[in-house]
Amino acid sequence: MRISLSITCYNDTLYPEIGIAAVRMLRRPGHTIDFPYAQTCCGQVHYNTGFQSEAFPRVRRFVETFRDSEVVL
């Protein structure tokens, strides 16, 4: 299975070892991991803190980046 990996900025900043462990774990059963370099901020922090209008362009970019993905984690 081909899996597209989304690593949030929060996770990447505070716990980068989680992304590394996730890739190792997913490769063990033979999954192919894709990390789209076009991914940027998903807008979650903006949305959760009341800045919905600022979040929507980021959400649209996130959706477009992962549009062709079979599975997104």
- Output the pTM of the full model: 0.78
Burial class of residue 10, CB neighbours in 10 A (0-12, 13-18, 19+): exposed
What is the average pLDDT across 22-26?
95
Burial class of residue 54, CB neighbours in 10 A (0-12, 13-18, 19+): middle
Give me the residues paired with residue 32 across strands.
2
Q: Of all residues in the chain, what percent carry a pLDDT higher than 70?
A: 100
- pLDDT computed for residue 8 by the predictor: 82
Structural domain spans, the chain? 2-72
54-64: per-residue pLDDT in tens? Answer: 999 999 999 99
42-56: per-residue pLDDT in tens? Answer: 899 999 999 999 999
What is the average pLDDT across 1-12?
87
